[in-house]
Structure 1
Amino acid sequence: MNILEKYYLQGKGKIILGTFALIVLFIISTVMFTGCFSSNQKNDNENTVTVFNYGDYIDVNVLKTFEKETGIQVKYEEYVTPEDMYTKYKSGVINYDVICTSDYMVEKMMQEGEVQKIDTSSMEYYKNIDKKYLDFCKVFDPTNEYAVPYLWGTVGILYNTKVVKEKVDSWSILWNKKYDDQIIMQNSMRDAFMVPLKWKGLSLNTTNPKELVQAQSLLLKQKPIVEAYLVDEARDAMVSGDASMAVIYSGDATVAMEENEDLDYVVPKEGSNVWFDCFLIPKTAEHKEAAEKFIDYMSRQDIAQKNFDYIYYGTPNKAVYDALDDETKEDYTIFPEEATLNKCEVYKYLGEKTDQYYNRLWKELKSY
């Protein structure tokens, strides 16, 4: 039984490989916190807010508290990748009021006129967002008018120190045949291509076709020794010892290291991606006032603290950060040093032409 079959049979999350991802996404009902939608149902209840977020990316108790405090019903749906979210959003089946998504997707939707300005002046808790993270977000939201940061982190290598005895400080180790069938790569187009791009000293935001083909060639060369392309399941596979190395998000690495003391995490010396997931209000939102109340509520210190405790990704909430103990503040998996961040880049939307080219290269890689 291979790792994909194992995690499918154990029900350990969403197995997403190639076109199977899209089939699962549209055939299986998406997860809803309260309420549900029929195939053509719009959000017509005035006292609701419909939220679209990454899977397992919020403490559901804060949704219950929001409903209790405001009387606004939360309809909550999850997705796997930004591309999945965009496809579902553009289908127009559901008019979402709040979407949480990643930096480059925020920028893409802004450029397409799919996002409304957020009235942060009316928000009581927006002041909790640290200015340095708002400055980071200006890479994709230059005026800080369209997106409110929720969580942030890095992408790096999680590895088993009992198996990997050599020093792990470069992306190059993911091409070492010694670890044949022990390596997990991210099943996310930009994150997968980021690895060879940064390894070879190139920008993760390159639009140069030759550089993208070079990255694809390296991924094609690597693919025979890759055990699987996963997202959330990578953490479980590393904890259980089913893999020795995984390209993984920093928050997942933190949780995995707590569950398995043999694991360690590193952002390679060549640099990586520092990402920001933000709340936005799409142009099709039917309950903008409720959406702004929800986003403001998520920036409240006690609520942001609960989400930090649940997810363990970096928080942009200064009120939460200032209240953390020194040990947590010095956990460089969650809050990396400035020297590490200086080598990292924020994803930008690369334009429709490059997006299409990327998709073609990705499909070729996955079908190889």
Structure 2
Amino acid sequence: MKRLLSLLTVALFVAVLVALGGCGSGATTPVSTTSKEGQAKQINFFQWTEYTPQSVLDSFKAKYGITVKMSNFSSNEEMMAKLQAGGLSEYDVVVPSNYVVKAMIALNLIEPLNKDSIPNLKNIYGAFLNRSYDPGNKYCVPYMSSPVVLAVNTKKVKEPINSYNDLLNPALRNQIVVVDDERPIIGAALLATGHSLNSTKASALKDAENWLKRLRPNIKVFDSDSPKTELINGECSVGLIYNGEAALAIRQNPDIKIVWPKEGIAGLTIDNLCVVKGTKHEKEANLFINYLLDPEASKAISDVYPYTNPNKAAHSLLSKTYLDNPASNIPLDKIKNSELIGDLGSALRQYDRIWTEFKG
């Protein structure tokens, strides 16, 4: 769902935002007004687009009398830059992906959670907890996951696909849609050639580059906005696409199936709820996070946006449409045993070069 950029771009974002005086789309006004009971009347939520339904924010207000004003960002780096350019005083809760959490901790952009105020943390599946980017979940609560999965129209593709290497089959020429997102696609190439999807070794990247050259004739479309469309209309028969998009494609065409390559998931990320450093509304921020982990609220989120839901308590409430859709309801062993996309630092320049040359 999310285009993964380099943390090196943060400095550029910060410079631009500072030059503009911290203004721009999505800017919010700090809120300090409180009710007679001393509770804030509004908190500010910095979130990805199309990831939290307004109905859930409205139900939180109905229950607690607190308005949640949501502003959106389109990349982790945009979000971080905004926080560094004065946004710490504008937001209370933010949703970073796993690969930037360590950087955000080091930059003092998020603060440790008050877990006593988040009892619904117990609702999260263990496969999503205690991951390497935040041991013990000191700073983060898993919100959703949006991995890139392999979707195949089994009516059109007769030969079995069990590996990323099967995508090199000449019979698939001009038949594949992939997300316009370098990390999961180069990640698939690295996994296919026996390497870590986060490898920075020159020999591994050379192997991946050569593999991608062999794959290129089979790719018809690069599309991150609506890759499901090419699968639904039959323009493509195979897709390496975000799981929420694949889930929607399967709803439209049951001939589309999810395949789990033996090498593992190439684009696994976990998006997290975090409290912004220095918030004046810590109590309300924790209350909101806890509410989003409530089974009914979590179900309402997945009803609208069918990404992978880590909330075990919500699963008994989720619709049969969601639970029976393997693109949404990804088996926990696939999550637990797959490598997460990580930050590459300066090595991402090599990925950028490979991607640019690959796309032509």
Distance 1:87 1:93 in 2: 8
Q: Secondary structure at the match of 2:308?
A: coil
* Distance of aligned partners of 1:339 and 1:299 in 2 relative to their CA distance in 1, 3 Å threshold: closer
AA of the residue aligned to 1:358: Y
Aligned to 2:17: none
Using the TM superposition, give the Cα deviation of residue 282 of structure 1 relative to its aligned residue in structure 2, in angstroms: 3.2
CA RMSD of aligned residues (A): 3.2
Aligned to 1:43: 29
- Tell me which of 309, 313, 318 is aligned to 1:315: 309
Deviation sequence 1:231-274 (CA, Å, 0-9, x none) = 24112322222322111233332221111122111121121144
Aligned to 2:93: 98
| 1:65 corresponds to 2:59 | yes
Extract unaligned runs of 5+ from structure 1: 1-12, 27-36
Aligned to 2:70: 76
Residue pair 1:39, 1:93 contacting (<8 A) in 2 also? no
AA of the residue aligned to 1:119: N
Aligned to 1:115: 110
Using the TM superposition, give the Cα deviation of residue 91 of structure 1 relative to its aligned residue in structure 2, in angstroms: 4.8
- Tell me which of 128, 135, 140 is aligned to 1:133: 128
Distance 1:339 1:41 in 2: 40
Q: Secondary structure at the match of 1:346?
A: coil
AA of the residue aligned to 2:31: N
Residue pair 2:44, 2:92 contacting (<8 A) in 1 also? yes
AA of the residue aligned to 2:231: M
* Distance of aligned partners of 1:118 and 1:257 in 2 relative to their CA distance in 1, 3 Å threshold: same
* Distance of aligned partners of 1:238 and 1:317 in 2 relative to their CA distance in 1, 3 Å threshold: same
Deviation sequence 1:67-106 (CA, Å, 0-9, x none) = 2333332222333443444455455468332222321122
Deviation sequence 1:260-313 (CA, Å, 0-9, x none) = 122111121121144322112233655433322221110011101111222233
Residue pair 1:52, 1:98 contacting (<8 A) in 2 also? yes
Distance 1:93 1:323 in 2: 36
Distance 1:355 1:118 in 2: 31
What count of residue pairs does the alignment treat as equivalent? Answer: 334
Using the TM superposition, give the Cα deviation of residue 153 of structure 1 relative to its aligned residue in structure 2, in angstroms: 5.5
* Distance of aligned partners of 1:285 and 1:168 in 2 relative to their CA distance in 1, 3 Å threshold: farther
* TM-score normalised per structure 1: 0.78
* Distance of aligned partners of 1:132 and 1:192 in 2 relative to their CA distance in 1, 3 Å threshold: closer
Moved more, 332-341 or 154-163: 332-341
Using the TM superposition, give the Cα deviation of residue 224 of structure 1 relative to its aligned residue in structure 2, in angstroms: 4.4
Moved more, 266-275 or 340-349: 340-349
* TM-score normalised per structure 2: 0.80
Distance 2:278 2:239 in 1: 38
- Tell me which of 200, 205, 212 is aligned to 1:219: 212
Distance 2:218 2:325 in 1: 32
Distance 1:251 1:210 in 2: 34
Distance 1:156 1:305 in 2: 22
Deviation sequence 1:208-236 (CA, Å, 0-9, x none) = 23312432343344334422222241123
Extract unaligned runs of 5+ from structure 2: 14-22, 33-40
